[in-house]
Amino acid sequence: MQSCTLCEMWSAYEAKRLGLISEAVPVLKVDNKFVRNPLVITDRWLDESGNMVYGKRKSGDDYKTAKEILANGTIDLTLLDNAVNNLATKFLYTMPDCINKTLNSLRKKKLEHWDKNQQSNRDWLALNMMTEAKAGFRAFNEGPKGKREADFIRLRKMLSEGHPWDDELVDAILPR
């Protein structure tokens, strides 16, 4: 539930740990050697309290040090290209219609859900584009670099006071 509502960024290493991707490949070279993302924890699974930390963003002095490492590195996509080619080659050596059948079978539940809900989802999306999405897209598009989110607290206060979703409300919550 949390991942679907908070829109917090996951590192590639968190995504791999959660099974969302099959491989995380380093693309940063420092001193002519590939290194994992220095901004995230990749050298241990647990912190001293027993909480899982693998793939989580570093903080404090560790984060500052990681930013320096990142600044001294260069991006080299060779390993990523190799990983993509290896995966594509694995699919090359399978029967195409069998792969098609498997993918369609895997998507069946998702398609059933979509078919049952497509009209109400379209209606909701149309309404949302006049309210929250309109405010969010404008905040991202018009906000200054580093501050591209609407003022969510002010939004909630204005709505609780009965203010309608209109241009005045949207303008009031845009970042400046």
List of residues 6+ apart from 22 with CB closer than 8 A:
16, 87
Residue listed under structure tokens 């679907």: 4
pTM of the entire structure? 0.65
Domain residues of the chain, as ranges? Answer: 2-75, 131-176
**Alpha-carbon distances, residue 168 vs 158, 172, 174 (angstroms):** 11, 6, 10
Per-residue pLDDT, 151: 93
Per-residue pLDDT, 12: 94
Per-residue pLDDT, 43: 94
Those residues of the chain that have pLDDT short of 50 are none
Per-residue pLDDT, 127: 87
Per-residue pLDDT, 9: 83
Per-residue pLDDT, 1: 62
